[in-house]
């Protein structure tokens, strides 16, 4: 496999030093590819400048789709396709439809959110994940910087990472 | 760890509360005169109410007996009945807000929640209303019983015209161990025991919380947690039975297994909204600097979640009664929905208690900003007042019920009294716990 993606990795074992390093690296105008950590680090999202996810909007749209689908389905079935008298109620009475409306709303918003999340995060079933450093699943935080999108050289970035408190600075090519 | 902070109950705040109460009294008196003046034009409405009762009773197995008693027991004039109904409704509503203050504190302990450490004194201060509402409830009960509680009438339990087989079958629940139709010892005993237990646990838990300020350590916190766990078990049972006693027994023939939860859900979401409003009031007054958007977010989430919980309970009750269509159950909603003076309250309460909080609180930002929290919490509190109005009034007033200056004025008096008691209690102890073991977690709370 030809190596067309080159990364510099900073390895940290303390989340406070990691947070300072992230701020320092970003202040120098270097774009960070991603930070991998064994546990959620409070304030990391803000330090990396990530915007809040727009997943709730997708959830709302999918949920509304479920609501509409359930309403249309039941009104069509019970009101037009095969009207049945149940308990002397109207053919298309709203109250008994509400449990189905609720269930379909929840189902579609949940499935839609999962699907949206997988697509947006580029997590297709056949896709093999890029593993920068397996220690990020154990006791180290890994700060990955993509060389292709940054102007500084590998050595400059490495020196900066060392300067910010990285224990090791490694290369990774995919 | 935290600088000592005291809430100062300033004379301006007292003056505002006094004005609120005074305006309430004026409106109430005005409302009474208006209600007395319009008392004569009710003959036709009586007739239609009677038709409705006939309709329901004919489907009912008790046949004609209850109508006769209903006719006999018209009792007090309409305006007086309205006062009684409104007093009873408001007292249950505000008793609930007070007891939810204590309930909120205890679930924070039982769940070992850390985020709420800086605001726990506010629900605790609301608990100060428990003894007052307890005494008020007991006194009020003896005043309003003949008009509000149909089951208190003696002739329902005596063989004859007034005999009511259904109510007679339930008599043990009210009158045990005394004779049916006499003094309802079991009922009164429950009321006294519930308020007594609630107040006792309030005193115990408050003592631990205040002792913690002086002594520090985790011993007081652990003790308060144990007390909270016991209280929660007691409250689970007593709140349910209280709902049957004080709310459901108004419609004595009718019963719903959801009523305990339903009243609790309504109380809880109202209490949460009141806690949120008090926190915002204090923050705007310059107190509670450590309470930030994250804590407000949690309170907003609570109001949002339990608005939906209330709707779930409300709908569970409604759907089964609607679908089964058993006359003795359906009459409850017939009295509230179609061709009823209460139908607008019925629909408005669903909009204010479910649709508006659900849509307005859906986004994250709306729960983190005080302006939006204020709007939604006020909607929720008023909406649940409507909810309690519809739980109490149709059963007592039939088609004569009203919602005017009389009810609004009385509610304002209750609001003023509740705020005065709560804020006074708040000013007597440090506003923020000084040695709470989880204060550090709360100060770094981040969601």
How buried is residue B246: exposed, middle or buried, by Cβ count under 10 Å (0-12/13-18/19+)? buried
Query: What sign for the dihedral angle of Cα B238, B239, B240, B244?
Result: positive
Buried b (16+ CB within 10 A) or exposed e, A113-151: beebeeeeeeeeeeeeeeebbeebeeebbbbbbebeebe
Q: For residue A87, give how far its alpha carbon lies from the nearest alpha carbon of chain B (Å).
A: 7
pLDDT surpasses 70 at B74: no
Comparing alpha-carbon positions, the chain A residue that sits nearest to B359 is A60
Mean local confidence (pLDDT), B34-50: 60
Q: For residue A36, give how far its alpha carbon lies from the nearest alpha carbon of chain B (Å).
A: 20
B319:A96 CB<8 A: yes
Confidence bin at B66 (pLDDT 50/70/90):
very low
Q: Residue B258: which residues within 8 A CB-CB, separation 6 or more?
A: B313, B316, B317
Comparing alpha-carbon positions, the chain B residue that sits nearest to A94 is B319
pLDDT tens-digit profile of B362-373?
999 999 999 999
Q: Which domains does chain A have, with CATH numbers?
A: 6-52+129-173 (3.30.70), 55-120 (no CATH)
Q: What is the ipTM of this complex?
A: 0.82
Mean local confidence (pLDDT), A30-37: 91
pLDDT > 90: percent of chain A: 58
A95:B446 CB<8 A: no
pLDDT surpasses 70 at A60: yes
A95:B323 CB<8 A: yes
Least confident of B37-41, B247-251, B333-337: B37-41
Confidence bin at B57 (pLDDT 50/70/90):
very low
Comparing alpha-carbon positions, the chain B residue that sits nearest to A52 is B364
Q: Measure the CA–CA gap between B352 and B403, rounded to whole angstroms.
A: 17
pLDDT tens-digit profile of B92-105?
999 999 999 999 99
Query: What sign for the dihedral angle of Cα B53, B58, B60, B65?
Result: positive
B404 against B54, higher pLDDT: B404
Query: What sign for the dihedral angle of Cα A4, A9, A15, A21?
Result: negative
Mean local confidence (pLDDT), A114-142: 88
pLDDT tens-digit profile of B264-288?
999 999 999 999 999 999 999 999 9
pLDDT surpasses 90 at B354: yes
Q: Which of B315, B325, B444 sits opposite A87 (nearest CB)?
A: B325
Q: For residue A133, give how far its alpha carbon lies from the nearest alpha carbon of chain B (Å).
A: 29
Mean local confidence (pLDDT), B47-52: 48
Mean local confidence (pLDDT), B255-262: 93
pLDDT > 90: percent of chain B: 79
């Amino acid at each position: 496999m030809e190596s067309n993606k080159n990364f510099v990795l900073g390895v940290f074992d303390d989340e406070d030093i990691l947070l300072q390093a992230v701020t320092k690296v970003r202040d120098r105008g270097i774009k960070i590819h991603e930070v991998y950590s064994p546990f959620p680090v409070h304030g990391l999202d803000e330090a990396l400048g990530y915007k809040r996810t727009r997943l709730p909007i997708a959830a709302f749209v999918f949920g509304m789709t479920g609501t509409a689908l359930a309403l249309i389905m039941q009104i069509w079935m019970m009101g037009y396709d095969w009207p049945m008298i149940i308990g002397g109620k109207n053919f298309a009475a709203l109250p008994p439809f509400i449990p189905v409306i609720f269930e379909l709303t929840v189902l579609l918003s949940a499935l839609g959110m999962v699907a949206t999340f997988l697509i947006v995060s580029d997590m297709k079933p056949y896709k093999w994940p890029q593993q920068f450093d397996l220690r990020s699943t154990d006791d180290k935080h890994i700060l990955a910087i993509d060389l292709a999108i940054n102007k500084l050289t590998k050595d400059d970035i490495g020196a900066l990472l060392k300067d910010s408190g990285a224990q090791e600075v490694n290369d990774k090519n995919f | 760890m935290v600088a000592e902070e005291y809430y100062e109950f300033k004379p301006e705040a007292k003056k505002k509360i006094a004005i609120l109460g005074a305006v309430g009294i004026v409106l109430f008196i005005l409302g009474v005169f208006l209600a007395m003046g319009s008392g004569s034009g009710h003959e036709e409405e009586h007739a239609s109410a009677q038709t409705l009762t006939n309709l329901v009773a004919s489907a009912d197995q008790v046949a004609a007996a209850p109508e006769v008693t209903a006719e006999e027991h018209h009792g007090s004039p309409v305006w007086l009945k309205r006062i009684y109904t409104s007093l009873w409704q408001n007292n249950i509503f505000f008793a609930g807000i007070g007891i939810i203050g204590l309930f909120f504190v205890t679930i924070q302990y039982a769940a070992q929640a850390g985020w709420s450490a800086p605001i726990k004194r506010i629900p605790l201060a609301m608990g100060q209303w428990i003894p007052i509402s307890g005494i008020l409830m007991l006194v009020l009960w003896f005043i309003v019983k003949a008009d509000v509680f149909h089951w208190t009438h003696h002739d329902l339990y005596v063989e004859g015209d007034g005999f009511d087989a259904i109510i007679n079958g339930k008599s043990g629940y009210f009158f045990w161990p005394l004779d049916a139709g006499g003094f309802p010892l079991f009922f009164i005993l429950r009321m006294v025991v519930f308020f007594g237990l609630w107040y006792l646990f309030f005193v115990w838990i408050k003592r631990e919380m205040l002792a913690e300020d002086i002594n520090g350590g985790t011993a007081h916190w652990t003790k308060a947690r144990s007390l909270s766990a016991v209280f929660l078990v007691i409250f689970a049972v007593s709140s349910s039975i209280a709902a049957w006693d004080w709310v459901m027994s108004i419609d004595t023939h009718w019963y719903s297994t959801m009523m305990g939860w339903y009243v609790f859900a309504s109380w809880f979401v109202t209490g949460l909204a009141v806690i949120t409003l008090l926190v915002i009031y204090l923050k705007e007054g310059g107190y509670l600097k450590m309470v930030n958007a994250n804590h407000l977010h949690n309170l907003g989430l609570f109001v949002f979640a339990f608005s939906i919980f209330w709707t779930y309970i409300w709908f569970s009750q409604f759907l089964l009664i609607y679908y089964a269509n058993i006359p003795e159950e359906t009459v409850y909603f017939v009295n509230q929905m179609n061709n009823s003076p209460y139908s607008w309250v019925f629909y408005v309460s669903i909009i204010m208690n479910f649709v508006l909080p659900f849509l307005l609180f859906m986004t994250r930002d709306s729960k983190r900003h005080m302006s939006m929290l204020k709007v939604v919490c006020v909607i929720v509190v008023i909406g649940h007042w409507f909810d309690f109005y519809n739980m109490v009034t149709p059963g007592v007033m039939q088609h004569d019920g009203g919602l005017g200056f009389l009810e609004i004025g009385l509610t304002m008096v209750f609001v003023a009294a509740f705020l005065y008691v709560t804020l006074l209690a708040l000013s007597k102890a440090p506003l923020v716990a000084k040695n709470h073991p989880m204060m550090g977690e709360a100060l770094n709370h981040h969601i």
